[in-house]
Amino acid sequence: MSFRELAEARRTHKEFGPDPVPRETLLELLDVARFAPTHHMTQPWRFRVLGPEALDALKEAAGEKESGKLDRAPTLVVASAALSGDLVQDEEDVCAAAAAIELVLLAATEAGLASYWRTPGVLRTRQGREALGIPRGERVLGLLHFGPPAREPAPREREAAESYVEFLP
Ligand SMILES: Cc1cc2nc3c(=O)[nH]c(=O)nc-3n(C[C@H](O)[C@H](O)[C@H](O)COP(=O)(O)O)c2cc1C
């Protein structure tokens, strides 16, 4: 698969097969995160793979209504950016961590896995953060879902490059 084909093949999946991603595979996917660009080499990306206890704790923090959505994928990974408190550096570090996340999603796609970058409200709450032991200095960027694909997403529609690219004189 060319890089372009890979970028196009990464889709948001909301239905997954039941098999968790093996630990070794996950480590390989998460290993590509470190190739993301990082200003001042802060390498701010952090990933926490949820085990059963962590998932239970997060579900409890989410409450009954929301917790069902945490069962959609067999493997969940919280992605965050470790911040310093410096406004400019923090902005760059959030960007670097987001770039790292996309690399991981692409690696998952290449491995034939379905993925989903979700930002559930519970990870914006004190209870949700405490359930996973996320320290104050980290900005949670998403709950990444991984697993076998269960259904092809509907075809995507995107604006052509001409609509967002400008060549300045
Ligand atoms: C930062 C970020 C947060 C997202 N959070 C959610 C979310 O909470 N719920 C959701 O359904 N999709 C979420 N998405 C996924 C987008 O909805 C999805 O990328 C979009 O529908 C385009 O589909 P595609 O990923 O298949 O191209 C998020 C994407 C990004 C980049």
Nearest CA to ligand 1 atom 9: 118
Look at residues 42, 155, 166, 19 and name the one whose alpha carbon lies nearest to residue 92: 42
- The C-alpha atoms of residue 71 and residue 89 are separated, in whole angstroms, by 35
* pLDDT tens digits for range 16-75: 999 999 999 999 999 999 999 999 999 999 999 999 999 999 999 999 999 999 999 999
Confidence of residue 162 (pLDDT cuts 50, 70, 90): very high
Domain range annotation of the chain: 3-151
**pTM, to two decimals:** 0.98
Look at residues 156, 155, 158, 131 and name the one whose alpha carbon lies nearest to residue 143: 131
What's the whole-number average pLDDT of the chain?
97
Cα–Cα–Cα angle for 20, 106, 131, nearest 5°?
Answer: 50
CATH superfamily assigned to domain 3-151: NADH Oxidase (3.40.109.10)
**Is any atom of ligand 1 closer than 6 Å to the C-beta of 72?**
no
Stated as kind and residue range, the H or E segment containing 99 is: helix 87-110
Q: For ligand 1, what atom is nearest to the CA of residue 98?
A: 1
**Is any atom of ligand 1 closer than 6 Å to the C-beta of 139?**
no
Nearest CA to ligand 1 atom 19: 12
Nearest CA to ligand 1 atom 7: 118
